[in-house]
Amino acid sequence: MAGLVLHLGASVTCSHGGPAVPTMPYSRVTLSGHPVVTVAAPYEIAHCNLPAPAEALRCTGGQWLQGSTRVFAGGRALVLDSSPSMCVPNGAVMLVLECQTRVNAV
């Protein structure tokens, strides 16, 4: 699975439109001056827009399930724009809206 490498400046949301931010980017490797994100970094999601009857199931966090298989940072796989993800507590996916376009990985 090849794709573009995500970094701290990438625009990521839950599938309901809530912005998602990595809590632990890997700062020893940077892209355009921003730390890269590894699969070990959980995401924090704020302001999930899940409709009213399911308010208790609004996304609060997310995790990438798989990353690069040949390129690593600190021994951990990098998150790619094509990586599968899952939000908690409802199992929705995270969506990459915008990220850098210069670095690809496999």
Residue pLDDT tens, the chain, 106 long: 799 999 999 999 999 999 999 999 999 999 989 999 999 999 999 999 988 787 889 999 999 999 999 999 999 999 999 999 999 999 999 999 999 999 999 9
Write down the pLDDT at residue 92: 96
Looking at residue 83, its pLDDT comes to 97
HSE toward the beta carbon, residue 18, CA cutoff 13 A: 23
Rounded to the nearest 10 degrees, how much is the dihedral formed by the CA atoms of 80, 74, 86, 61? -120
Q: Which residues pair with 43 in a beta bridge?
A: 22, 62
Supply the Cα-derived Rg of the chain in whole angstroms.
13
Number of domains composing the chain: 1
* Residue-level pLDDT at 54: 78
- Please report the pLDDT score of residue 56 as a whole number: 86
Give residue 26's domain range. Answer: 3-105
CATH code of the domain covering residue 46 = 2.60.200.60
